[in-house]
Structure 1
Amino acid sequence: MSLKKLYLDSLCGDRGALEILIMRFHPLLVKVSFRYGYFDEDCYQECVIAMIKSIKKFSIR
């Protein structure tokens, strides 16, 4: 499934599409969440929350 389709479905409230979208970006979220040589779970959760909020603000041209 394409990112555009996942984005549009999650924007319409499809929780399954949102979960797949988050899992597609999981490696990047984990990479950002490593602080001082260890995994920071709170940072990971904040990244996921920021991603969910940004879906509502993002627009495709």
Structure 2
Amino acid sequence: MNHLQDVSAVTVDRSPRCGLVRRLFKGFWQGLERARTRRLLAQLDGRDLADLGLSHADRLNELEKPFWR
């Protein structure tokens, strides 16, 4: 029985690069999502903004932000 391998404790070898790639991809995806929602926000009229509880100044403030923030 010495030739049997103990498989009771399974370990996953994750390199630091895997985490870096995952964080970069996540940040890129979030930036695209922010850009998409800001494009939608830019299309809203005053009535839609009032329904959301936003002012025109709030909208302009949000639209001036870069996609990474």
State the TM bucket, normalised to the shorter chain.
Answer: 0.3 to 0.5
Q: TM-score, normalised by structure 1?
A: 0.33
Q: Which has the larger radius of gyration?
A: 2
Q: TM-score, normalised by structure 2?
A: 0.30
- The answer to which structure, 1 or 2, has the higher relative contact order (CA under 8 A, 6+ apart) is 2
Give the number of the structure whose residues are more often strand, by fraction. Answer: 1
